[in-house]
């Protein structure tokens, strides 16, 4: 019986993984429950609050249409990144919306990938939600 060894072929298949943003801090009145004590200074009260806030000139109300991730949302995004890393997927590029919650999700996923060469991060304005969903003026994005 002859055993044949076939050379391993490089997988050239391109795959697109669609991942929704982590849990945003847009519920529960987090802007009005005393979490913001000194304009933009955030007091940690529970895990449904944000991990990091980006200083915006309009105060807490500027986050109503473009909220950051909660601590739970960031942890979930890191778990997605670890899961992708464990599957030895070679991720070249991460495309994201310019909204704060999506940027934070993409950043958490990339940081948990543990790849030798981190993937490129591309911010695509066309991925932002329709402006008809925005209740105020167009939010200031990073």
Mean pLDDT per 10-residue segment, the chain (142 residues) = 63 85 72 56 64 68 79 93 89 92 94 90 86 59 56
Encode 3-21: b = buried (16+ Cβ within 10 Å), e = exposed.
eeeeeeeeeeeeeeeeeeb
Q: Which residues contact 76 (CB under 8 A, 6 or more apart)?
A: 22, 23
pTM assigned to the model = 0.74
Residue pLDDT, tens place only, 8-39: 667 678 888 899 998 887 655 555 555 555 55
| Distance (Å, whole) CA 108 – CA 130 | 24
Task: Look up residue 39 and give its DSSP letter.
Answer: T
Class of domain 36-133 as given by CATH = alpha beta
Residue pLDDT, tens place only, 45-54: 666 666 556 7
Q: What is the CB neighbour count within 10 angstroms for residue 78?
A: 18
Where along the chain do its domains lie?
36-133
Is the Cβ–Cβ distance between 77 and 109 less than 8 Å? yes
């Amino acid at each position: 019986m002859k055993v044949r060894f076939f050379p391993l072929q490089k997988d050239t298949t391109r795959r697109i993984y669609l991942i929704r943003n982590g849990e945003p801090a847009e519920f529960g009145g987090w802007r009005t429950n005393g979490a913001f004590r000194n304009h933009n200074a955030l007091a940690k009260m529970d895990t449904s609050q944000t991990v990091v806030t980006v200083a915006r000139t309009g105060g807490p109300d500027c986050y109503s249409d473009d909220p950051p991730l909660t601590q739970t949302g960031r942890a979930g995004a890191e778990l997605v990144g670890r899961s992708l890393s464990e599957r030895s997927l070679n991720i070249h590029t991460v495309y994201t919306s310019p909204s704060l919650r999506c940027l934070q999700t993409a950043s958490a996923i990339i940081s948990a990938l543990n790849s030798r060469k981190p993937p490129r991060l591309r911010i695509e304005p066309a991925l932002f939600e329709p402006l008809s969903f925005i209740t105020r003026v167009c939010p200031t994005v990073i």
